[in-house]
Amino acid sequence: MLIRTMVRTSSVPWAAGPLFLLVWYMSDDLGRRVVPAYWESASSIPAYCLFAIAPVCAACAAWEAGRLKRGGVAQLGAARAQVMVVAQALAPVALLGLAAVTGSFLTVRVSMGSALDWPSVSVIGMITVVLAAHMLLGFVVGYALPRLLAPALILVLDYLWMTLPPTFDTMWVRHLTGHLETGLPVTDRINPDSVIAPAVVAAGIAAAGLLVALTSGRRRMAAALAGVLGIGLGGLAGQHLVADWGPSAPALARTDQPACAGKKPEICVPRELASVLPELEGASAAVLPRLADAGIPAPQRLSTASTATRVGPETWRVYASPYLTEDDARAEIAEAALPDLPDCLAHTDAYVGDPLPLRVWLLLAGGVPDDVVTEHYGPDALPAMAGVRAQSEEKQLDWFRRNLNLLKQCEPSPETQAIVR
């Protein structure tokens, strides 16, 4: 059968318009928020859009199954094999999913403005397996339930499966759907298990769907039992991979070479942020000598490093974004003098201190203009620090070190409570 005929006789043209519009809107909106050119982060956007693409494909597949069932195709002496009948019914649905995902990638590429490398192959693979699984599941549901009920039921249940797990207290469930979080930091790469787990679960569902779809008569019951076993095994394997995870996948630092500039200190950022190196160099030349005068010695290295990596005392972790201005760069360099603090709130709801006053002090000591400090920390920041800044340099440094030590031990530091951003 011609592909044009297959598409014309299917339900796909009805669903295509709204789906493409939805996917375009979401991809464009989210694509503008990722770090330009960083495909690893941008690749999660089409996976995020799966919450719309997968249910629509499942509903279309259920509709096609109902159409075949109503036509009594399985009972007729068809010249084509059952697998061909199913494949031809599902081909337009697969095309719909493929077109939506491709459209999402293209929209993200246009919204990002630039790109290094290519989209993540592992994410593309996961999306393909998940879509195939949802499509086959929809087809089986369409065969098993009345045509009136099946497409609507699978649309709603599939939509809820993709979107509800993030609201569950049981964290690992959300990592099995394939509906990836967006906003991966430019310093991190996608955790492979966050792609493998949903793919394994989906593979189990796809295998079950395929078994049931390609069998008929008495063998279908045995196929259904084998399918349940397949889904159970896939679910167990996927759950095993993400069982200990929290709301997000554990961060993994990138392994590729960063872009670096300067000697003392050496400034390193991910390749996608190489354009802001001049701003950071200029800011470090202005800020570091002033901090040294205030008693904070300059580091050997300034690095935009992942939170998943530990940095030594001679390296300051500096935050950089593609839209860094000169003033922002100065503020970031000054703030970078604050070392990594423990996650004090991980085990308690009690007050564990506030590093904001120390950050404000670092900005002021580094010569960052007052208006930039106010812009970053609010109108109360400068008045609250007036008392500290009025003291001698030695006393200011003592205040900073004393409070830093308290914060490192998760001890409340009363002297830093005054500023609320």
Partner 1 sequence: MTLWLKARRPAVLAAGILVFAALSTAVGGRLVGLPSLSGTGTTTVPLLLFVPLAVCAGLLLCLDSGAQAAEITGARHIATYDRCLTALTGATAVGSAALAAVLRDAPVAVAAGRNALFLMGLALCVRAAWGSGVGMLVAAGWVVMVTLVGYDAYRTPRVWAVLGLAPGDVAGIALAGCCFAAGLGVLGRSTAGRRLR
In the complex, minimum distance from the CB of residue 141 to partner 1, in angstroms, rounded to a whole number: 13
For residue 164, state whether it binds partner 1 (rule: CB under 8 A): yes
Q: Which of 173, 21, 178, 35 is nearest to 104 (CA)?
A: 21
For residue 130, state whether it binds partner 1 (rule: CB under 8 A): no
141/277 with CB nearer partner 1: 141
Q: For residue 299, give the DSSP letter.
A: P
Out of 54, 153, 186, 384, the residue judged to bind partner 1 by CB under 8 A: 153
Question: How many degrees, rounded to 5, is the angle at CA 279 between CA 277 and CA 284?
Answer: 95
Q: Which of 323, 325, 195, 168 is nearest to 249 (CA)?
A: 195
Residues in Cβ contact with 148 at an 8 Å cutoff, skipping those fewer than 6 apart: none
Residue whose entry in the numeric block shows the structure tokens 């109902």: 66
Out of 12, 61, 124, 155, the residue judged to bind partner 1 by CB under 8 A: 155
In the complex, minimum distance from the CB of residue 69 to partner 1, in angstroms, rounded to a whole number: 12
Q: Which of these segments, 118-126, 156-164, 266-274, 362-370, binds partner 1 (CB under 8 A)?
A: 156-164
For residue 159, state whether it binds partner 1 (rule: CB under 8 A): yes
Residue 17 burial by Cβ neighbours in a 10 Å radius (0-12, 13-18, 19+): exposed
Residue whose entry in the numeric block shows the structure tokens 């593609």: 322
60/201 with CB nearer partner 1: 60
Helix or strand (DSSP H, E) at 301: strand 301-303
- Alpha-carbon distance of 261 to 282, in angstroms, equals 11
How many residues are listed for the chain in this entry? 421
Q: Which of these segments, 83-91, 150-158, 189-197, 301-309, binds partner 1 (CB under 8 A)?
A: 150-158
**181 in Cβ contact with 248 (< 8 Å):** yes
Out of 28, 68, 99, 166, the residue judged to bind partner 1 by CB under 8 A: 166
Q: Tell me how many residues contact partner 1 (CB under 8 A).
A: 25
- Alpha-carbon distance of 203 to 10, in angstroms, equals 25
Out of 151, 178, 227, 357, the residue judged to bind partner 1 by CB under 8 A: 151
Out of 31, 36, 66, 97, the residue judged to bind partner 1 by CB under 8 A: 66
For residue 71, state whether it binds partner 1 (rule: CB under 8 A): no
Beta strand 301-303 with 266-269: parallel, antiparallel or unpaired? parallel
Q: Which of these segments, 146-154, 323-331, 337-345, 394-402, binds partner 1 (CB under 8 A)?
A: 146-154
For residue 9, state whether it binds partner 1 (rule: CB under 8 A): no
Out of 7, 20, 22, 311, the residue judged to bind partner 1 by CB under 8 A: 22
- Alpha-carbon distance of 338 to 5, in angstroms, equals 65
Contacts with partner 1 by CB under 8 A lie at 18, 22, 25-26, 29, 51, 55, 59, 63, 66, 146-149, 151-153, 155-156, 159-160, 163-164, 166-167
